[in-house]
A and B are shown apart, each in its own frame.
Chain A
Amino acid sequence: MSDASLRTPFPQRAHAALEDAHLQEALGIATTKFIGLRKESFAGFPEGEALRDRARAIKEGTLQQLDRHLERLADNIERLGGHVHWAATGEEARDIVLRLCRDKGVRMAVKSKSMATEEIELNEALEAAGVKPVETDLGEYIIQLAHEKPSHIIAPAIHKTKGQVADLFSKELGGRFEADPEVLTAVARKELRQKFLDADMGITGANFAVAETGTIVLVTNEGNGRMVTSLPRIHVAVMGMEKVIPTMTDLMVFLAILARSATGQKLSSYTTLVRGPRQAGETEGPEELHLILMDNGRTRQIAGTLREALYCLRCGACLNVCPVYRQIGGHAYGYTYPGPIGILLTAMLKGAASVKDLAHASSLCGACKDVCPVRIDIPRMLVDLREQLDREKIAPWAERMVFRLARRTMTSPALFRLGASLGRVAQRPFVRNSRLRRLPFFLGKWTRTRDLPPVASRTFSECWKDLERP
């Protein structure tokens, strides 16, 4: 994400999103629709719950032998004529792509949607190196033309209206296009078809990689994943190392729940299994295939508090159900990965300090955990993260003191009683119509948008004592 947007603090970014009437409407419609589609698709699929358990077990099991699975994957890809690169950091992953571009004389690269390349800001790096990156997923293409960032993991341009897209296409591509999704899609098809045929390199992410067969798996609806892995002479896949799974049998378990969780489809239109470059006898396919295995902060979490976030399939289901995401949308989070899982992934990639505000952008309601296809315990990790921010003194001093005081008070009956008595006196100037309003100092943030019930004239335990008496 560009520094400009992060210079504004999170509360302001969130406020701006809340005041954007159009964004509010688009978010409401999109997230509600996705929730409905997901629900419907799992309702007619009783075996889904058991498959989710199995999928989670596969992720757990893979992580326990991650080194072996990665070795196996790399050996198989090399056996099939592909190349494997190991990138400890995002910067290194970027440099590998840039070096390939330089060595192979690449001038244009077509890309299918990939969060991993968003994560390392590959497009900016390619542009700076004189290589033209072209996003080919329709949503990504729209936001690339608009010089914006994706606002949703699987629907990157949900914040734009068809009118805005028509204006954008008219301005950027020359012409006058009707604000009709059908027309606009046809325009993009024509424009991008030529790019697929002309490009030197195709860049993808990977939804999965099957270790035992050396297969890179791409799941798309538009067919752009197939285009970029078939037409250009070089295919480069950038993959977070945790995407490896052991076998084809395992892959089927994930395929059965991934699209259902993301869009409510039984399967996405295209699931593409790529093993190696063009094989002998084939008419098509790239001459070279490169897989870049990327760490970028992931290894640290194998034994860390965010370990479970390594199970994430990037389906976006947790975004749609999150009461915070539904209000503020993806941009306000300020980083590549939005939503509840995005907070954890950001902490993983950029360190806990980068999410000192975002860690609190959750009501801990647990809706994310309920819909997660691999049942990632996001709320628990958010609490762990908040605890870490406190322990490592990253949270502001006042916040840490207030919570420390609260803990002391709550865990000691004597202090609790004293607190209640003091509170009864101290609150007097602020109680109006039996509500606490407009608390002073920083406490005022609490009462700015809601009233608090005052401390009762008699506490529950005092009442209880009376009742116990015969």
Chain B
Amino acid sequence: MTSRAEFLGSIRREMARTRGLFEARPVPRPADAGQAAEVVRHQMLERWPQALERFREEFERVAGVFHRVANIGEVPGVIRRIAQERQAQSVLSWDPEALGLDLRQSLGQEGLAVTVAPDRDPDVATRAMHRDAAARAEIGVTGVDWALAETGTLVLVSGRGRPRSTSLLPATHVAVFGHDRLVESLEQVGVMLEALHADPARGMSGAVINFITGPSRTADIELTLTRGVHGPKDVHAIFVETR
């Protein structure tokens, strides 16, 4: 077995042979990530309407379905219509606190089976149960950490009450967000991610960050574009004007 010291030792030996041959060019990055993130948030307070337009355009270009509602109370109605179209019976949702909305009350009364993610440290049995529910669910409802305009991308950070599979296992993914989630460029997402990792206290609790750009797709058979190969066939984004 090669040890870490041996592995790195052989790299160092070869590196020593190249000393002075290549110039080092450090790539510029924000000095204070938290402050840089604050600057971006401040810029977006003014620029979000343009960013939203661009997001919509790009999101639709990658076959996403965009909805806009006046307030959070209208979100269940949109999900209900999606369920009717898909003839879906079961909905899986992030923890109401993480989502900012409890779908059990609104959708549960209408005959849809709603499962919400556990909000505290789940034990083995709870996790197994949730996984079975996720595997069966037809619609998954999540929040959004950043909605990236230039590519129509939804960025989701996993964690407590925010399982990673809610946006993966059900055939339809519905993401809900407000204007404070909009960013314009990948570069800005980079700033946000630097800040997220720089501040351990406010940092992410979960292990995974997903950039989701449209539905799951493949072109592996004769380059014919086909949707929903492993992940969702349909992705919906619901923009909420006021929380």
Q: Give CA–CA (A213, B58) in the complex, Å.
A: 29
Q: A61-B25, A249-B30 are in contact. Are A268 and B14 (CB under 8 A)?
A: no
Indicate with 1 or 0, residue by residue over B135-158, a CB within 8 angstroms of chain A CB atoms: 100000000000000111100001
On chain A, the residues within 8 Å of B231 by CB distance are 222-223, 226-227, 269-270
In the complex, how many residues of chain A place their beta carbon closer than 8 angstroms to a beta carbon of chain B? 98
Question: B205 touches which one: A54, A160, A282, A300 (CB < 8 A)?
Answer: A282
Q: A86-B3, A282-B160, A284-B164 are in contact. Are A70 and B229 (CB under 8 A)?
A: no
On chain B, the residues within 8 Å of A80 by CB distance are 207
On chain B, the residues within 8 Å of A284 by CB distance are 127, 130-131, 134, 158, 163-165
On chain A, the residues within 8 Å of B206 by CB distance are 279, 281-282, 285
Do residues A92 and B230 form an inter-chain contact, with CB atoms below 8 A? no
Do residues A249 and B194 form an inter-chain contact, with CB atoms below 8 A? yes
Interface residues of B in 3-40 (CB under 8 A from A): 3-4, 6-8, 10-12, 14-15, 17-18, 22, 24-27, 29-30
Which of A186-194, A397-405, A431-439, A458-466 is the interface stretch? A186-194
Do residues B15 and A222 form an inter-chain contact, with CB atoms below 8 A? no
**Cβ-based interface call for A328 (8 A):** no
Do residues B122 and A272 form an inter-chain contact, with CB atoms below 8 A? no
Do residues A222 and B213 form an inter-chain contact, with CB atoms below 8 A? no
Do residues B121 and A252 form an inter-chain contact, with CB atoms below 8 A? no
Q: Give CA–CA (A80, B205) in the complex, Å.
A: 11
Q: A189-B230, A280-B121 are in contact. Are A64 and B15 (CB under 8 A)?
A: yes
On chain A, the residues within 8 Å of B73 by CB distance are none
Which of A132-140, A350-358, A361-369 is the interface stretch? A132-140
A167 to chain B, nearest CB (A): 13
B144 to chain A, nearest CB (A): 15
Do residues B208 and A229 form an inter-chain contact, with CB atoms below 8 A? yes
**Cβ-based interface call for B49 (8 A):** no
Indicate with 1 or 0, residue by residue over A148-187, a CB within 8 angstroms of chain B CB atoms: 0000000111101110010000000000000001101110
Do residues A280 and B205 form an inter-chain contact, with CB atoms below 8 A? yes
Q: Give CA–CA (A170, B223) in the complex, Å.
A: 21
B169 to chain A, nearest CB (A): 8
Q: Give CA–CA (A329, B224) in the complex, Å.
A: 19
Do residues B6 and A302 form an inter-chain contact, with CB atoms below 8 A? no
B204 to chain A, nearest CB (A): 8
Q: A138-B218, A188-B229, A266-B58 are in contact. Are A247 and B29 (CB under 8 A)?
A: yes
Do residues A279 and B205 form an inter-chain contact, with CB atoms below 8 A? yes
**Cβ-based interface call for B189 (8 A):** yes
Indicate with 1 or 0, residue by residue over A420-439, a CB within 8 angstroms of chain B CB atoms: 00000000000000000000
On chain B, the residues within 8 Å of A285 by CB distance are 158, 164, 206-208
Do residues A295 and B190 form an inter-chain contact, with CB atoms below 8 A? no
Do residues B7 and A86 form an inter-chain contact, with CB atoms below 8 A? yes
On chain A, the residues within 8 Å of B30 by CB distance are 249
For A192, the closest partner residue in chain B by CB is B230
Q: Give CA–CA (A165, B224) in the complex, Å.
A: 13
Interface residues of B in 192-243 (CB under 8 A from A): 193-194, 197, 205-224, 226, 228-232
Do residues B230 and A87 form an inter-chain contact, with CB atoms below 8 A? no
**Cβ-based interface call for A106 (8 A):** no
Question: B222 touches which one: A57, A181, A193, A250 (CB < 8 A)?
Answer: A181
Question: A158 touches which one: B25, B135, B212, B223 (CB < 8 A)?
Answer: B223
**Cβ-based interface call for A212 (8 A):** yes
**Cβ-based interface call for A88 (8 A):** yes
Q: A266-B213, A279-B159, A281-B120 are in contact. Are A67 and B15 (CB under 8 A)?
A: yes
Do residues A193 and B223 form an inter-chain contact, with CB atoms below 8 A? no
Do residues B221 and A138 form an inter-chain contact, with CB atoms below 8 A? yes
B126 to chain A, nearest CB (A): 8
Q: Give CA–CA (A57, B28) in the complex, Å.
A: 11
Q: A64-B22, A252-B187 are in contact. Are A269 and B215 (CB under 8 A)?
A: yes
Most buried by A among B120, B187, B208, B228: B208
**Cβ-based interface call for B114 (8 A):** no
Do residues A181 and B7 form an inter-chain contact, with CB atoms below 8 A? no
Do residues B208 and A274 form an inter-chain contact, with CB atoms below 8 A? yes
Q: Give CA–CA (A279, B157) in the complex, Å.
A: 12
On chain A, the residues within 8 Å of B174 by CB distance are none
Q: Give CA–CA (A267, B214) in the complex, Å.
A: 10
Additional pairs, 5, CB under 8 Å, beyond known A86-B2, A280-B121, A282-B158: A64-B18, A269-B62, A276-B207, A300-B14, A302-B17
Interfacial residues, chain A to chain B (CB-CB below 8 A): 26, 29-30, 33, 54, 57-58, 60-61, 63-67, 70-71, 74, 80, 84, 86-88, 92, 136-139, 142, 155-158, 160-162, 165, 181-182, 184-186, 188-189, 192-193, 196-197, 212-213, 221-224, 226-227, 229-231, 241, 246-253, 255-256, 263, 265-285, 293, 295, 299-300, 302-303, 307
Interfacial residues, chain B to chain A (CB-CB below 8 A): 1-4, 6-8, 10-12, 14-15, 17-18, 22, 24-27, 29-30, 58, 62, 117-118, 120-122, 126-127, 130-131, 134-135, 150-153, 158-161, 163-165, 168, 186-187, 189-191, 193-194, 197, 205-224, 226, 228-232
**Closest 10 A/B residue pairs (Cβ):** A223-B231, A281-B160, A139-B220, A252-B190, A271-B211, A303-B17, A302-B14, A86-B7, A223-B230, A181-B224
Question: What are 30 contact pairs spanning A and B, CB under 8 A?
Answer: A64-B15, A70-B8, A86-B6, A136-B230, A138-B218, A139-B218, A160-B221, A162-B224, A181-B221, A185-B228, A192-B230, A222-B229, A231-B165, A247-B194, A249-B27, A249-B30, A249-B187, A250-B27, A253-B27, A263-B219, A266-B58, A267-B213, A269-B62, A270-B216, A282-B160, A282-B164, A283-B130, A283-B131, A302-B14, A303-B18
